[in-house]
Each structure stands twice: as structure tokens, then as C-alpha cells.
């Protein structure tokens, strides 16, 4: 048995021997490979479809100044693009009700209004399911506002 193993090992080719590299050189090579991999990831970045949809909606609406007709049109476009689902669209009723309040301005700053509404959840005893809907709408309004400002900055 030993003869068979010895014979087998003798038939194996010698491994390619490379001179030992200092630890610093191997670390530098490893860091370079890591940096190159990170650069490749950045080169392959592609925005999601949602980003393009939000940009398209933001180009049509300024969520800092929405008339009641704009709220309805925005709701329709958000539904059409699938940015919010069925139950989440119910949160638009909050914006529609804000226009119906006495003494409300003709244009509604949806971002500020939803900011204050989210802060007052506890004092208003807002149910959990309604909170979720409003929070999702609130997040979408912030995204739309950011995209609108970015688009305006590029134009100017």
C-alpha cells in the first residue's frame, strides 16, 4: 500500500512554486482587487424603474403647491404608475379633506401638511392601518419633492 502511494506521489508534477511575497505586497494586491470590484459595481449601477416613475410624476406636479384638482390628478397618476397600491391610495383622502377645511389656502403644501399630520398621530388617535397608509404617502411626497427640486435645479 505504501509503495502504491509513494509511486502515485512520485508521478504527480511539482506545483508551480512562486517566491514568497511580503505581507505588505499581498495586502496591497488584495486592496487593489477590492477597489476594482467596487468600481465595477459602481459602473454597473442602474436606477430602478421606480426612480424613473417618480421623476415622471415629479415633472408634472409640485407637491409643495397642489390645488384640489392637482391632488386628484396626482392620485390618478400615482395609481396609474403603481407607486402606491389600492389601500395606500386611501391616504389621499387626507389631502382632499385638507382642501375642504375652512380657511385653507387654494394651494396645499402636501409635504408640510403630511409632516405635521405624522407628528400628531398620537394626539389624533390615528388607527394603525391609517398610519401605515399616511406614512407611505408621506414618504412618496418627500421623494416627489426631492425629485421635483432636482429637476428644477437641472433646468436652471
pLDDT band at 25 (very low <50, low <70, confident <90, very high): very low
The C-alpha atoms of residue 124 and residue 118 are separated, in whole angstroms, by 10
- Minimal CA–CA distance to 107: which of 58, 70, 143? 70
Collapsed DSSP state (helix, strand, coil) of residue 66: strand
Lowest mean pLDDT among 13-17, 94-98, 138-142: 13-17
Grid cell in block for residue 138: 408621506
pLDDT for the residue numbered 39:
58
pLDDT for the residue numbered 130:
92
On average, the pLDDT of the chain sits at 80
- Minimal CA–CA distance to 53: which of 70, 88, 86, 77? 77
Cβ proximity of 78 and 140 under 8 Å? yes
The pTM score is 0.68
**Does the pLDDT value for residue 141 go beyond 70?**
yes
- Please list, residue by residue across 129-143, b when 16 or more beta carbons sit within 10 angstroms of its beta carbon and e when fewer do: ebbebbbbbbebbeb
The C-alpha atoms of residue 67 and residue 72 are separated, in whole angstroms, by 9
Q: Find the mean pLDDT for residues 142-156.
A: 87
pLDDT tens digit string along 36-92? 566 566 566 777 888 888 999 999 999 999 998 999 999 999 999 889 888 888 999
CA distances from 119 to 67, 76, 85, 122, 135 (A): 23, 27, 24, 8, 11
Amino acid at each position: 500500500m505504501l509503495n502504491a502511494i509513494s509511486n502515485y506521489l512520485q508521478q504527480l508534477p511539482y506545483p508551480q512554486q512562486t517566491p514568497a511575497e511580503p505581507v505588505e505586497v499581498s495586502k496591497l494586491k488584495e486592496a487593489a482587487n477590492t477597489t476594482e470590484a467596487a468600481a465595477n459595481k459602481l459602473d454597473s449601477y442602474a436606477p430602478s424603474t421606480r426612480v424613473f416613475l417618480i421623476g415622471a410624476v415629479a415633472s408634472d406636479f409640485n407637491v409643495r403647491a397642489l390645488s384640489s384638482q392637482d391632488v386628484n390628478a396626482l392620485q390618478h397618476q400615482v395609481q396609474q404608475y403603481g407607486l402606491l397600491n389600492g389601500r395606500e391610495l386611501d391616504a389621499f383622502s387626507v389631502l382632499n379633506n385638507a382642501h375642504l377645511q375652512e380657511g385653507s389656502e387654494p394651494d396645499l403644501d402636501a409635504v408640510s401638511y403630511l409632516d405635521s399630520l405624522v407628528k400628531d398621530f398620537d394626539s389624533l388617535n390615528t388607527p394603525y392601518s391609517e398610519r401605515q397608509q399616511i406614512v407611505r404617502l408621506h414618504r412618496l411626497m418627500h421623494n416627489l419633492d426631492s425629485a421635483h427640486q432636482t429637476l428644477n435645479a437641472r433646468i436652471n
